[in-house]
Each structure stands twice: as structure tokens, then as C-alpha cells.
Structure 1
């Protein structure tokens, strides 16, 4: 087991080091988020499973605080209202659980951060499409292929892995960078 532990850690370390190659895209995503917030907009997050948990985590970093004491920033996870999720899922289908919430809450100039390790989750892809149609900026967090989201997002942050646990670990690291840079820019 120790050999496997070391191999896992080495793979994780290599992936995190490779995130540096995404610096221009991370900067672009950060700038989109800062602009939205400065203009009175909000940041919405969505994803399934572990990505749903990451969506909630990152929204909380904005609404509460990341590292700096500051006023709360408008971030919302589209994964938390079980009444909306179950009503929309029951009445329209699971593919619509995020897109209908984007349609209800999104405004031109807002940002949707869409998380999908494959980039192909039908409900996330549908939310991305709805957001784009509404003039909402879309930042995607995917694995290295980008899936369907690669061609749909304004900025698609394709982390360098095809292994779901590694992708999710890197997504939260990228999310922390985004929240940290946004926080710094808006506290100045």
C-alpha cells in the first residue's frame, strides 16, 4: 500500500504543477468574475456529486470569506435548494435542474461557474447553453478533454487529468485561486 500511496501523491503533485499552464485562462476567468461583481452581478455555481459539493464550497468562500475579512460577495450554488431541484427534476427532468435556475436568477453580465469532470454532464451543459443565451459569462471547470463544455464556455479551465478524483482536487485548487484573486481585487 505504501507504494500506491507514493504513486498517488506523485501523480497529484505533477497535476498541481501542471496547473501553472492554465495561468492565462485562470486570470481571464478571475477578471470576468471581478467585472461581474464590480457591476453589481453575481457568481452562480453548479455541478453534480462531488462537483455539487465544490459548487457549494466555492459559493461559501464568496458569501462568507476566503482569507480576508470583507463584505460578503454574491455567490450562489444552484445545488442547494432541494425543493427547486426536486420540483424541476420531477416536472421537467433532471437535465433542467440547473438551466431553469440560471434562467430564473441569471442576468446579463453575471458569471456561471460550471463544474463537470467530464465536461459532458447533460444538466450542466444545458445550464451553460442557457447562460450563454442570456449573456451570462460561463467559466467551465473540466478534466483535460473539456468534453462538450470546451466549445461552449467563454473560459474553459481544463485541468490536466482524466482521473475523476484528481480532477476534483484540482478543481477546488483552481476555485480557491479564483476566490482569492477576486477577494484581493475587490478589497483594495
Structure 2
């Protein structure tokens, strides 16, 4: 086994640990509160991103829509009267996205899908490594104009998303690991932490739903 190979693997893991030690917990708490608020008032969560991030959003969509609303042992759904979270993956339909790109241009691909439906009470979650992706920026502008709460997750200096989003989580750090240096700096770690963030939010929502379900059951029995 090559010592260089081992050193590179250890470098990646060491960088991950450093990011976790400096992770912006306050931003996670803020977006969790925004998620709870959207759920409590019956709003919709819209999520969007590009490339690999779009694939991670597909994973998140599955988790957000299902996991908080099954029993702890996963053998049955929660009762039908427990409201589910409305979660829309704006990356989910290649037909819609390619139509929007063809007709309105790539910078408007998400804005075009979002503008007719988003409103106050909704939460828009946007993921962009650079913070400057034109289609993500336009979507945040549309969401803000509609009165929705906006969240962006990015890295580096946060780009335009930092100023546009109500809540901006910037993954800290820089990388020396192959494949995530130069313009791609820290991107693997950024993408790793999108999944971690979504898992934290799903677990926190599950806890909240379970607590409210127990409280409602106690009230009925009382």
C-alpha cells in the first residue's frame, strides 16, 4: 500500500473533522426553526441545486416526506390526521427543467417553476457551492419577492447567496485534497455536508412531530 495513498485519505478525514469542529451550528438551528415554521403553518418547502447537489436533494426529498411520519420502528405510518410536510424537489423532473431551459434560458430554470406557486409561509432551500449560480440566485430573488423564507447553503465567501438568503450556511474551510482544490476548493466536503445537514433537519423534524403527536394524544386522553 502506497504511503502517499494513506496520507491522502488521512488528509481528507482530517479536513472533515476540522470542518465539523467549526460547523456553523447557529445556522443549522435557524434553518431548523424555519422548517418547523413552514410545517406548522402548512407551507411548502422547495429545494433546488445543480449537478450532484440535485441528486442529494432527491435523497432529501425522500427523507423529508417519509421519515418523520413513520413509527419509530418503521413498521407503520403515523395516523392520517398527522399533517405531512409538503416538500417539492424542483430538480426532480428532467422534462420540466429542460423545457424551462429551452424556453426561458438556464438562469430562469428554477425561477420559472417557483414563481407561479411560491408564497409567504413557504421555505425555499437553495444549494450552490459558489453561491453565484445564476439559476440559484434568480430562484432566491423570486422567493424573496413572494415573501417566502429563504435558505442557502454554500462555501467560500458565500457569493451572492450570502446577501440574498434570510439564512445562509457557509461550510467553513479550504482543502488540499485532490479534486477539490482551485476553483473546486472544498467542494467534496461541501457536498458531504449537504447530506449531513438534511439528515439533521429530518431527525429534528421527526422529533418535533413525535412530541406534538404525543402531546395531542395526552390532551385527548385528559
Please give the range of the TM-score, normalised by the shorter of the 2 chains: over 0.9
1:84-126 deviations in Å (ceiling 9; x for gaps): 1011110000111111111123121100010011111110010
Q: Equivalent residue for 2:209? A: 186
Q: Equivalent residue for 1:9? A: 13
1:97 aligns with 2:120: no
Listed as ranges, the gaps of 5+ residues in structure 2 are 72-77, 174-184, 212-222
1:39-94 deviations in Å (ceiling 9; x for gaps): 01111100000111122121211112159534642111100111210111100001
Q: Distance in 1 between matches of 2:157 and 2:202?
A: 24
Partners of 2:61 and 2:88 within 8 A in 1? yes
Change (3 A) 1:9 1:68: farther
Partners of 1:56 and 1:79 within 8 A in 2? yes
Is the partner of 1:140 in helix, strand or coil? strand
Alignment of 1:36-185 (within 5 A): 36-65=38-67, 69=71, 70=78, 72-161=84-173, 162-185=185-208
RMSD: 1.5
Q: Distance in 2 between matches of 1:173 and 1:68?
A: 20
Partners of 2:68 and 2:209 within 8 A in 1? no
Partners of 1:56 and 1:80 within 8 A in 2? yes
Q: Distance in 1 between matches of 2:45 and 2:130?
A: 22
Listed as ranges, the gaps of 5+ residues in structure 1 are none
Q: Distance in 2 between matches of 1:68 and 1:118?
A: 36
Q: Equivalent residue for 2:220? A: none
In the superposition, the TM-score normalised over structure 1's length comes to: 0.93
Q: Distance in 1 between matches of 2:36 and 2:157?
A: 27
Is the partner of 2:207 in helix, strand or coil? helix
